[in-house]
């Protein structure tokens, strides 16, 4: 395969060892005009199937990190769809929500749509919930909106898988969403929450500072 500069730099950039301390990929010269080719690199099967000791295998990870740092709005749906198809890859599962966090508020609409889609496996849906919470935590001006989006999905607790409910509640707790407690309480009362994920209702109340 042939990639022109600056894309060729990602082929030998190095092994990814840390999901939370990323280098500044924009210093390599990437701009928004490079977004389509970066998306293609994420999806490049030949790279993904490289030998494990070949640095090229890490190029898709560097590519989606770059898309996040570019806050590439046009990459939101392709990356969400990539996660749906590849959620069993630990790097995808952990890092795509971080990419969505970097892109920020423009990602919320599609994340919410995919979170609500019960034709999708539960694990990628938990990533969408996590991404929404991450945006709310990193951008305080979006916190109320993110809480509302997650609470609206939790309100479908009888339709949702109990594990999904538990993970949405966990994300709401990260947001200190006291305003969501009535919905959380209703989900527990109807026995629609997998309590092994976040604990029983009394524990949730304690985390939110609502214990009497």
Q: Tens digits of per-residue pLDDT, 84-143? A: 999 999 999 999 999 999 999 999 999 999 999 999 999 999 999 999 999 999 999 999
Q: How many CB atoms lie within 10 A of CB 9?
A: 15
Determine how many CB atoms are found less than 10 A away from the CB of residue 94: 13
6 exposed, middle or buried (CB, 10 Å; 0-12, 13-18, 19+)?
Answer: middle
Whether residue 124 is preceded by a cis peptide bond, meaning omega within 30 degrees of 0, is: no
Taken in order 66, 72, 75, 76, the sign of the CA dihedral is positive
pTM for the whole structure: 0.95
Contact between 1 and 46 under an 8 Å Cβ cutoff? The reply is yes
For residue 129, give the 3-state DSSP assignment.
helix
Tell me if 112 sits within 8 A of 78, measured CB to CB.
no
pLDDT, one tens digit per residue, over 33-83 is: 999 999 999 999 877 665 556 888 999 999 999 999 999 999 999 999 999
């Amino acid at each position: 395969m042939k990639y022109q500069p600056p894309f060729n730099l990602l082929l030998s950039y190095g092994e990814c060892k840390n999901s939370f301390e990323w280098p500044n990929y924009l210093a390599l010269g990437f701009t928004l005009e490079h977004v389509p080719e970066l998306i293609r690199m994420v999806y490049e099967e030949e790279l993904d199937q490289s030998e494990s000791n070949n640095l090229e295998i890490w190029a898709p990870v560097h590519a989606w990190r770059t898309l996040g740092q570019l806050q590439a709005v046009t990459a939101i749906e392709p990356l969400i769809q990539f996660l749906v198809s590849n959620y069993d890859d630990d790097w995808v599962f952990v890092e795509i929500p971080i990419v969505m966090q970097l892109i920020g508020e423009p990602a919320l609409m599609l994340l919410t749509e995919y979170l609500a889609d019960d034709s999708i496996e539960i694990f990628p849906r938990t990533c969408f919930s996590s991404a929404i919470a991450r945006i709310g935590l990193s951008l305080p001006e979006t916190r109320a909106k993110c809480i509302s989006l997650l609470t609206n999905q939790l309100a479908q607790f009888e339709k949702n898988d109990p594990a999904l409910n538990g993970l949405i509640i966990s994300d709401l707790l990260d947001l200190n969403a006291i305003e969501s407690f009535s919905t959380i309480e209703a989900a527990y009362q109807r026995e629609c929450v997998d309590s092994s994920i976040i604990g029983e209702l009394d524990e949730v109340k304690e985390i939110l500072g609502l214990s009497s």
